[in-house]
Structure 1
Amino acid sequence: MATETQDAHAIEVHLDQLLRERGMTLAELAARVGVTNVNLSILKNGRAKAIRFTTLTRICEVLDCQPGDLLSRRTAEDGQP
């Protein structure tokens, strides 16, 4: 069984912010991307262990953003791994 430190990662997902800026709901994004609300919610809440490049591409197309707008890495200076 994996421990919390093994599962920990330093990637932050900024989906809430991008949706807010675009006045879009998670349900609307899910429909336009072609994935379930549950899968997007897992991503939005930082619990995703992986994301397909095709899904990332569609999210970026729909939100008119770059992957770096959606994802960032916390550093030691941020007080995280």
Structure 2
Amino acid sequence: MPPEDDGRVRCRLTELLEERNMTLTELSGRVGMSLVNLSVLKNDRARAIRFSTLTAICDALGCQVGDLLVVDPA
């Protein structure tokens, strides 16, 4: 059984949006995801994410999953 979530996975959505001069609202429109749900992801409050959502975000930002989600060292 996997260990309890220790909050080490971090979303780099803020940085990626800044690098691309894109707003969360613009990303929301491109991905077809609500602003609220993107905000939850951006602020590291999401507990799960669908592969289809990851794919859509990565396609819109021109990045890979590893650019979006990182694991902070223990």
Please indicate, yes or no, whether the TM-score normalized by the shorter chain is above 0.5: yes
Between the aligned residues of both structures, percent identity stands at 56
Secondary structure of 1:75's aligned partner? coil
Larger radius of gyration between Structure 1 and Structure 2 = 1
Q: Which residue matches 2:21?
A: 23
Moved over 6 A (4+): none
Secondary structure of 2:22's aligned partner? coil
Provide the rounded CA distance (Å) in 1 between the counterparts of 2:46 and 2:38: 9
Gaps of 5+ in 1: 1-5, 77-81
**Aligned Cα RMSD in Å?**
1.0
Q: Which residue matches 1:50?
A: 48
Residues 30-70 of structure 1, C-alpha deviation per residue, up to 9 Å, x if partnerless?
Answer: 11101000000000000000011000000000000000000
Gaps of 5+ in 2: none
TM-score normalized by the length of structure 2: 0.91
Determine which structure has the larger helix proportion and give its number. 1
Question: How many residues of Structure 1 are paired with residues of Structure 2 in the alignment?
Answer: 71
Q: Which residue matches 2:60?
A: 62
